[in-house]
Amino acid sequence: MARNWTKRVGDYRDFEEFHGTRFLVVVCLWLYVLNVTITGHLYDKEANNQLEALGQRRKKKA
């Protein structure tokens, strides 16, 4: 049976599915970046605390 490819006016189901998927992708990427940023900051802070306890300092990048 042939599929009817014409859209009715006001049929937004495909539109909502597309934007819902895009929203989920953007949220997942944003959460990943936020998690990496926060984790990296906390990791650097703890590493500096441990180096200070040993009486050392972190080398600065050139």
Residue 59's identity, in one-letter code, is: K
pLDDT digits (tens, 9 = 90+) for 6-26: 655 555 666 666 677 888 889
Q: What is the pTM of this model?
A: 0.52
Q: Which residue has the higher pLDDT, 36 or 7?
A: 36
At which residue do the structure tokens 């984790």 appear? 39
Average pLDDT value for residue range 37-57 = 92
